[in-house]
A and B are shown apart, each in its own frame.
Chain A
Amino acid sequence: MPINEIMQIEEGSEEQHYVAPRQKRQMDKKSMQPPLTPIIDVTFELLLYFLLTSTFRKDEGQIPASLPAAGGAASEAPPFRPIRIIIMPQGSLRDQVVYTVDNNPPTDKPEMLYAYLESRAKTGDPAEIPVLIKSDGFARWKFVVEAFNAAVRAQFKKIAFSGDGAG
């Protein structure tokens, strides 16, 4: 008989051999466990889904500020001469920036900006000296936030934005 035929008979054979009742009961007892495969399947599906779709949210917070009152509070003479921070964008894509703090040389480094502000904060009470941020209309928000953050870091409390876009 060719080998293929033997294989077919063995695989497709539904011939039932006699199984003694005692032996059958023992066989039945072995299969008492509930099938865990579907649970594991679903669990892995879920795990994969969440791993692939989850994006870890970055930790965000608020930097508090004050706003100039509507209707031109600038007309009131401030008791202290305000510190002016001027933000000017640079580059064709305006992806760089130059900060100018009063008469200090312009800088593009946030740490330098902070150093200028900190040295000014030491000259008086930073809680009283107003800081006025004047940003060019085309400066990107991240640079405005950077300047504001530096002022808050230097302990200034009265920080405002000028009403006009360009400085």
Chain B
Amino acid sequence: MAKKQITGSIQEVNLTPMIDSTFQLIIFFILTAQMASQELAKVSLPEPVKSMAIGADPDKPDQPTNLNNVTVNVVNKYGDSDDNRQMELAGKAECYQLGQNKIDAGNIEALTAAIKERKAQILSDKNIKNVKEGDIIVEIRADKDIVFQDIEPVMRAAAEAKINKMSMTALVDPEHRVKR
């Protein structure tokens, strides 16, 4: 009789720990996603006609393609938003960003020093194999509306840091995708 009472009792699954852990996961993913995206500054990239930009390998989208690159982001006040841009303000570079290091636009000495430092880091990085000084590329990742005179200092700083290869970041044309 007593046995029958036990089997007949309500057995509810306690969902509180599951919900707790779900929220923990959400917080973890939000924080890590933010940290990862801080390296790539928000810019509205140029979209040239029949773009020759070489994107990541579609078969291996997660494979890093720019280990040799010193990426210099040139950012204006609008970030990646294309809405309500005042062209005069959009033309001005607000800062240069290397990794998470932000340098005021116009501070060419600091920019040159930062490029040299990043170059030295790449050359001494044991995870990047067989990289020589001539293999290092300065990648200019600039907003499409910034005027050339605010971007030219990046080229001069790169030349001063003895980097003579350059690439420009642009949007990939999905219909004329250039193969790696």
Contacts and interface: CB of A to CB of B under 8 A. Distances in A.
Given A62-B167, A63-B170, A148-B168, A39 B18 contact: yes
A60 B66 CA distance: 12
B10 A31 contact: yes
Contacts of A152: 52
B146 A34 contact: no
Interface residues of B, number: 61
Contacts of B162: 70
Interface in A22-36: 24-25, 28-29, 31-32, 34-35
Nearest to B167: A62
A69 B164 contact: yes
Interface stretch (A4-12, A100-108, A134-142): A134-142
Interface string B8-23: 1111110100110010
Contacts of B52: 63, 149, 152-153
Nearest to A59: B172
Contact of B4 (A25, A42, A139): A25
A64 B91 contact: no
Contacts of B147: 94, 137-141
Interface string A151-167: 01100000001010100
B46 A64 contact: no
B108 to A, nearest CB: 13
Q: Is the interface of B mostly helix, strand, loop or mixed?
A: mixed
Interface in B1-46: 4, 8-13, 15, 18-19, 22, 26, 45-46
B139 to A, nearest CB: 6
B143 interface: yes
A95 interface: yes
A61 B148 contact: no
Contacts of B69: 62
A62 B169 contact: yes
A67 B74 CA distance: 18
Given A25-B4, A28-B10, A140 B170 contact: no
A29 B48 CA distance: 67
A145 interface: yes
A2 interface: no
B165 interface: yes
12 contacts: A29-B8, A35-B12, A35-B15, A46-B22, A60-B45, A61-B178, A64-B165, A67-B155, A93-B88, A110-B49, A148-B48, A165-B149
Interface of B: 4, 8-13, 15, 18-19, 22, 26, 45-56, 66, 69, 74, 87-88, 91, 137-139, 142-149, 151-152, 155-156, 158-160, 162-172, 174, 178
Interface of A: 24-25, 28-29, 31-32, 34-35, 38-39, 42, 46, 49, 58-70, 87, 93-95, 110-111, 114, 135-142, 144-146, 148-150, 152-153, 161, 163, 165
